[in-house]
A and B are shown apart, each in its own frame.
Chain A
Amino acid sequence: MLGAEVRPVTAGAGTLKDAMNEALRDWVTNVDTTYYLIGTAAGPHPYPMMVRDFQTVIGDEIRAQMQEAEGSLPDAVVACVGGGSNAIGTFYEFLDDPSVKIYGAEAGGHGIDVENGHAASMTGGRPGVLHGNRTYLLQDADGQILEGHSISAGLDYPGVGPEHSFLHDTKRVTYVPITDKEALEAFQLLHQASKASSPRSESAHGLAQVIKLAPTMGKDETIVLCLSGRGDKDVEIGRPLSRDAQ
């Protein structure tokens, strides 16, 4: 698609961290002719900063559009967090506005208590060093990185961008795990409400958090969710839902 050569990575578990390992290996071997483009806000400096600075257009536009639509800042902002790119792009603009509560939805997979059964790096991990940054990682007692699990490929990463780790530690952002089941239920809700489009399964984690959050807030309060992508790649998840609807 779009002319790129895609090389599938079968090393390890064949997930995002294995693809990153393989891309890093290729980069250091061909450094004279290669630019390494990281697709998330993680990795060695200055990548987390660069990705944040590019993605912050999301937060800029939320601020401007909320001002126009509501005449104020949102009361809460929510995004799903895998490596953390769409989330940091959404959150960064509001970090210095204490009235804006910020929530990141991590991949709770089969449940936080299921060993190696989720990808919630902050809720279920601890600080370590991988891929050029020190951040929260899912790892065993010996410092070996776990594979993790999420129904969403984009959240199936046993680490998270270092700025999120910082925001977790300073408690500016509340990171919550959302299980596969909760994400699927949210996915189904939006699919039924709007037949024209489905969210990505990743974004559905954010939506699940909105569903939990809304009842705790006032009727006049506002929540903005970053719907980080379309569900084209999650058509297998959507297919049984479409059959049910017919």
Chain B
Amino acid sequence: MSTRITDAFAACARPNRPALVTYHHGGRPRPTTTASAILKALPGAGADLIELGMPFSDPMADGPGIQAAGQRALKAGQTLTRTLAMVAEFRKTDTTTPIVLMGYYNPIYIHGVDAFIADALAAGVDGLIIVDLPPEEDDELCVPALKAGLNFIRLTTPTTDDRRLPAVLEEHLRLCLLCLDDRHHRRRDQVACRGRRGGQADQGAHRRCRSPSVSASRRPTTRRSWAAMPMVSWSARRCATLWPGSLVDGKASPGTVAAVTTLVSGLASGVRRARA
């Protein structure tokens, strides 16, 4: 089993700070060049772990930002194989930053589960978050992935109640992603505490932030959570407002990568000031 994820969390635990997980959608804004350049720049800008989104035609658990990103990526020709190739390319110069693929099951099913696991490991993927495979379907992908050495990360939300949580947080799983947004502000502590009581899983708390300054002012959920994953959707309009020239007509420009690294650096400095 790759230890990049646990090593990254351990490195953050030493100064008692949360980890910053950035989500990047594979194939955006342009499949071969800018998307890969952004991926390469993220660790230097302060990302401790990277989630790489696999575009899917029907992202039924995602909001408008990821929906739009996925559609544009698919229109530009992004495929599962190309997303894996992005990881392989990234690994040529970075062998320590964990990469977790996030997406839906059908493209993996069509690729072939065994073939996908082998290809993902060969590319240097450390873990998977597959949104539409619940614990009841563990035999499909979770069990073979864990056996082969890929981490399998579950999703929970504040609506995951006490009856459901044990099924989600099983002993053999190390990692769990708690999805929040601002409406769940008060409930997050309860869910995070329940999570730790129910299982041994480390948790990343993913919440949406509007601007880099937010991560400094908002503490991570509880003492027991290990990562902050501010979800900032860099919509064309927001990018154009915050960083003129970062996107031109919604497409990558010479300023795009710099705009992203500025954003991430701001978030990272906020996260590094926070204490668990």
Contacts and interface: CB of A to CB of B under 8 A. Distances in A.
A98 to B, nearest CB: 34
A13 to B, nearest CB: 10
B132 interface: yes
Nearest to B107: A143
Interface residues of A, number: 24
B247 to A, nearest CB: 21
Interface in B77-95: 79-81
Interface residues of B, number: 26
Contacts of B74: 144
Contacts of B67: 11
Interface in B146-176: 157, 159
A202 B266 CA distance: 55
B80 A143 contact: yes
A229 B33 CA distance: 52
Given A142-B79, A143-B80, A144-B56, A28 B61 contact: yes
Looking at chain A's contact residues, the main secondary structure is mixed
B58 interface: yes
A135 to B, nearest CB: 11
Interface string A16-39: 011011001100100110000000
B179 to A, nearest CB: 10
A129 B61 contact: no
Contact of A145 (B62, B63, B106, B159): B106
A79 B107 CA distance: 31
A123 B79 CA distance: 25
Given A143-B109, A144-B74, A129 B58 contact: no
22 contacts: A12-B58, A12-B71, A21-B58, A21-B60, A24-B60, A24-B61, A25-B62, A28-B61, A28-B159, A128-B110, A129-B109, A132-B132, A137-B106, A139-B110, A141-B110, A142-B79, A142-B80, A142-B110, A143-B106, A144-B56, A144-B74, A146-B57
Interface of A: 11-12, 17-18, 20-21, 24-25, 28, 31-32, 128-132, 137, 139, 141-146
